[in-house]
Amino acid sequence: MNIDVKKSAKPVNYKDAIDVLENKVLEINKGKSNELIWLLEHPSIFTAGTSYRSSDIIDKSINLIKTSRGGKITWHGPGQLICYFVIDLNKRGKDIRKFIKVIENSIIDTLNNFNIDSTSDRNNIGIWFNSGKELKKVAAIGIRVKKWIAYHGFSININNNLNEYKKIIPCGIKDKGITNLKEIKNQDYTNISDEILNNLFKYLKA
């Protein structure tokens, strides 16, 4: 597989990152570029996917950026790992559902490596942790497919400020919570990006 891997040490502006992804889609479609997996962090920002509703905004003063990914409103910021990708599904059977399973299984296996049990949900996309009292989302997934090239990506909450989610109805879901890995299990997550990469490559090869 010709997949370039990029890791950004400093936070990357959201719009700048999306511009890179959009350009990469065009290049891959023309056969001029390798696929991409990009690990980064964003400065604090609220983003709205293509199916968001204004009623999902609780704090009307937030700075909201509309984006081309699927899904509704979420927050990105410090303490959250972002994994963007531009992956050519023309090479992978043009199967969107299978690709989403690749993402879900990669995240679940990664968290399992840190002794955290998590699960996907057919009705509510993302990765969830059962706290014993309620299901709480620990990872969000939002993709778009253009000419069978999948892009955007997913985020994993590590030690981010969960209070930011009180300003919105995250992903339009009212009856479930949001958590992060430090809240679930206070341990070292320094190498989580390497674990994510290993699992993504494992499932993309399958």
- Active-site residues, by number, are 171
Q: Strands 127-130 and 119-120, how do they pair?
A: antiparallel
Question: Residues 22, 84: contact at Cβ < 8 Å?
Answer: no
How many other CB atoms are found less than 10 A from the CB of residue 127? 24
Taking a C-beta distance cutoff of 8 angstroms, is the pair 118, 108 a contact? yes
Burial 59-87 (b: 16+ CB within 10 A, else e): eeeeebeebebebbbbbbbeebbbbbbbb
Tokens 């597989």, residue?
A: 1
Compute the distance between CA of residue 197 and CA of residue 204 in angstroms, rounded to an integer.
10
In whole angstroms, what is the distance from residue 196 CA to residue 206 CA?
16
Rounded CA gap, 192 and 102, in Å?
17
What is the rounded distance in angstroms from the CA atom of residue 8 to the CA atom of residue 162? 23
Q: How many CB atoms lie within 10 A of CB 134?
A: 12
